[in-house]
Chains A and B, each alone.
Chain A
Amino acid sequence: MDDALLRVRDLVTSFHTDRGVLRAVDQVTFDVPRATTVALVGESGCGKSVTALSILRLVTSPPGRIESGTVELEGRDLLQISERAMREVRGNLVSMIFQEPMTSLNPVYTIGWQIIEAVRLHRTRSRRVARARAIELLHLVGISDPDVHVDAYPHQLSGGQRQRAMIAMALACEPRLLLADEPTTALDVTIAAQILGLLSSLQQRLKMSILLITHDLGIVAENAEHVVVMYAGRVVEVAPVRDLFAAPAHPYTRGLLGSLPRPNAGRTHRLAAIEGIVPDLIALPTGCRFADRCAMRIDRCTREEPDLMAFEPGRSSRCWRASEVSP
């Protein structure tokens, strides 16, 4: 993946809490190639959203702090540039959309006003041109009667339409990279399918990369080319999507896949649940963070944490027994 648009290396983001320092993102490393969708997968608290916020330097500080690592966008380390330069990056080169559109839509302004502001900030000073662009964007994301809805307030739209409006705002400046944090989790399946279809057609049109943050493996399978699996702040597996589903190389990934209901399996089939719970990030075990839930645990796992080790081009796993996970 020489042609990576985004290169994240050894990123560490911590939160300083009453109970101690918690490393929500711990030595996270991955690439996002150009015009590609990479899924960042994991369960709540694994650090996937904090990773995205760290890329945009939007971690609330205090209590949060980006401690170390590099986030290179087209060769430029975003962690080293000035706040002023960073503002040029946000919304322009890199945009973010959220699960709850009201996170980024301001309820007291019309959606048109909000898109126009984004366009005028980065693209044109002309209000008239910006308004025309806003209407064009609303049309692009499939909002009906865009010349009317441009003057609508967020509360006048349905959940799906709000999601579309937020996408229009994020895409106003045709970013190279879109960070999509659970973009369809709050939506019904038929609306979610519309939004995901929209994202993929916009991706082809704008040739942008998407970092798709999700807990839904169905969405991963249908939308991503590469997958990064996170667990307790660590990347535990990286793989092309087909390889990940066909032959996972980390017991946690295998566990996640096993815990999904299979079509036609019948009621008597027990789901292969992963027993136990995620470790406390403040009191982490010495060895592998997944060890106490792992069916393949050996002595070494509780003593020594493995590195994220590449074993094939484009594939790596943080497991001592990676080669045995999918025999």
Chain B
Amino acid sequence: MTEPAPSAPLATPSGAEEAPARTLVATQGVSKYFPVPGRLFRRGERFVRAVDGVSLRVRQGETVGLVGESGCGKSTLGRLILRLIEPTFGRVIYDGLDITRRSQRDLRPLRRRMQIIFQDPYSSLNPRMTVREVVGEAIRVHRLAKTRAQEEARIVELLERVGLRADAMDRYPHEFSGGQRQRIGIARALAVEPEFIVCDEPVSALDVSIQAQIVNLLVELQETLGISYLFVSHDLQLVEHVSHRVAVMYLGKIVEQASAPMLYERPRHPYTVALLRAAPRPDPEHKRVRLVLEGEVPSAIDPPAGCPFHPRCERAVAGTCDVEDPPFEEMPRDSGHRVACWNPVP
């Protein structure tokens, strides 16, 4: 099942993105349509376009932030990349290999290299397993330790790496606080020495002071182990802090993508601008011009014609934005800054 690595540049050809690191994960026009349930006699007619033709890549050692509001498809995209759900169209390339059509069994060797950390540390750990079992399971499944003693030593090492004491081993998840449980989830992910981790809202369920602990830990792990992250979050400030590059999703599509400083300093897509303005800033001196985005996200079952954002967009051009979906274009050329908009913010 091994295919030769495609020699052409993946997904979106780019001229000038600084880091020459190799592309670890890429999607090419990946889509996930979920059939809409509840229409008993006319099945299979309507679909939710949760993810709609997304091309994204993550390089080695890089953090790509994926932001958007609930239902925009960001978590689905993370799961598609890991093949936890199957894409309807498009391809997922892992380290040069097309893994879209691989059987789960053939995926097994790759599973070791990619992991996921979930939002809710309360429901993602089996309450009947001790920490030793939770972390040790992955080591055993992938046969990463030869002896019992080796496995034990490895668990201790992992716990210490994530800031837990070795005596946590024989305790159960409910005995830990939310932040500590998230540390256990991270230790479990690290057990197989992954190169790539999808962090799906990893700190949203945690208190502010604990969020900072976990975010610092994730950044440190990247620096020491060279892990790549796809960091899925609705928290714009947090994403700015952790990401090298950021992609903004709206109704299943990426509408803007750029390096973190570029995106936050000069957002071009009106939706990105609205998101950034809507996020409250912890600074009472900063009296923002309240530009409140009107309306709500339309349904992904019958997305609007043309640009999905046009019904809420104050820059929408009648006759264009409501007719044709804008291409995802680099502007200016070779900047690595891509925008899907007919009338971007200058």
Contact = CB atoms under 8 A, between A and B. Distances in A.
Contacts of A193: 277-278, 280, 290, 292-293
A267 B259 CA distance: 12
Interface residues of A, number: 48
Interface string A221-234: 11100000000000
B207 interface: yes
Interface stretch (A28-36, A98-106, A114-122, A212-220): A212-220
Interface string A168-197: 000000000000000000001111111011
Nearest to A194: B292
Contact of B209 (A43, A160, A261): A43
B210 A221 contact: no
A263 interface: yes
A82 interface: no
Contacts of B70: 188
Interface string A254-282: 01111111111101011111110110000
B223 to A, nearest CB: 9
Nearest to B176: A277
A44 interface: yes
Contact of A263 (B207, B264, B274): B264
Q: How large is the interface on B (under 10, 10 to 19, 20 to 34, 35 or more residues)?
A: 35 or more
A188 B207 contact: no
A195 B244 CA distance: 32
Nearest to A192: B278
Contacts of A303: none
A46 B109 CA distance: 46
A39 to B, nearest CB: 11
A4 B125 CA distance: 48
Contacts of B237: 218, 260-261, 263
B116 interface: no
A196 B290 CA distance: 11
A245 B284 contact: yes
B282 A260 contact: yes
17 contacts: A43-B209, A189-B278, A190-B278, A191-B296, A193-B280, A193-B290, A215-B208, A217-B282, A218-B281, A221-B286, A242-B284, A245-B283, A245-B285, A261-B241, A273-B210, A273-B215, A277-B210
Sorted nearest first, the 6 A-B pairs with minimum C-beta distance are A218-B280, A261-B241, A259-B212, A273-B212, A43-B207, A188-B69
Given A222-B284, A222-B288, 5 more contacts: A188-B234, A218-B279, A267-B241, A274-B213, A277-B177
Interface of B: 63, 69-70, 177, 179-180, 207-213, 215-216, 219, 234, 236-238, 240-244, 260-261, 264-265, 274-275, 277-286, 288, 290, 292-294, 296-297
